[in-house]
């Protein structure tokens, strides 16, 4: 289990928010597993048996989409997400930049996996200003 690090207890309220987790992983240069990698561990193999103490866990895959039949603009705002921390429910607004090639498209979703570029810089960060999180 050398490539899996326990970042939170089983209860999200005792662990890290998504923003805190991405910040921690970026600082330590740890890549968060994608949804596809988690699927391989949980469904495609019995790897999870050796890693039971880290589940449930957050993945490093972010997915965002616009309303049906609405064209993508330069940003997408999702304000229906909720974070749970220490038993308190907080509404968050996430703002995602839309790549130029996806602008004006409709009925698609955008996905990004956490990781680092060839220079070791994080592919994305979650920056918070008030109750708004910028991706």
Q: Tell me the C-alpha distance between 61 and 116, whole Å.
A: 13
* Residue 5 counted as domain residue: no
Its domain, for residue 101, covers 12-134
Residue 1 is assigned to a structural domain of this protein: no
Q: Is 6 domain-assigned?
A: no
- How confident is the model over 25-36, as a mean pLDDT? 87
Residue 3: inside a domain, yes or no?
A: no
119 belongs to a structural domain: yes
pLDDT at 57 over 80: no
Which of 23-27, 89-93, 99-103 reaches the highest mean pLDDT? Answer: 99-103
Which pLDDT score is estimated for 34? 87
Q: Answer yes or no: is 73 within a domain.
A: yes
Q: Identify whether 7 is part of a domain.
A: no
| Domain presence at residue 4 | no
Residue 41 region by backbone torsions, left for phi larger than 0, else alpha for psi between -120 and 50, else beta:
alpha
Q: What is the pLDDT of residue 17?
A: 73
CA-based nearest residue to 114, from 22, 41, 49: 22
Domain count, the chain: 1
CB atoms within 10 A of CB 83: 17
Q: What is the pLDDT of residue 2?
A: 44
């Amino acid at each position: 289990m050398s490539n899996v690090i326990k970042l939170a207890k089983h209860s999200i309220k005792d662990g890290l928010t998504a923003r805190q987790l991405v910040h921690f992983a970026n600082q330590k240069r740890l890549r968060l597993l994608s949804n596809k990698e988690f699927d391989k561990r949980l469904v495609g193999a019995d790897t999870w048996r050796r890693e039971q103490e880290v589940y449930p866990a957050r993945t490093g895959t972010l997915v965002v989409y616009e309303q049906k039949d609405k064209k993508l603009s330069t940003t997408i705002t999702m304000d229906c997400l909720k974070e749970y921390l220490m038993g308190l429910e907080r509404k968050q607004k996430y703002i995602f930049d839309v790549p130029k090639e996806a602008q004006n498209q409709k009925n698609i979703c955008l996905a990004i996996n956490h990781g680092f570029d060839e220079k070791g810089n994080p592919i994305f960060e979650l920056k918070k200003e008030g109750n708004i999180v910028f991706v």
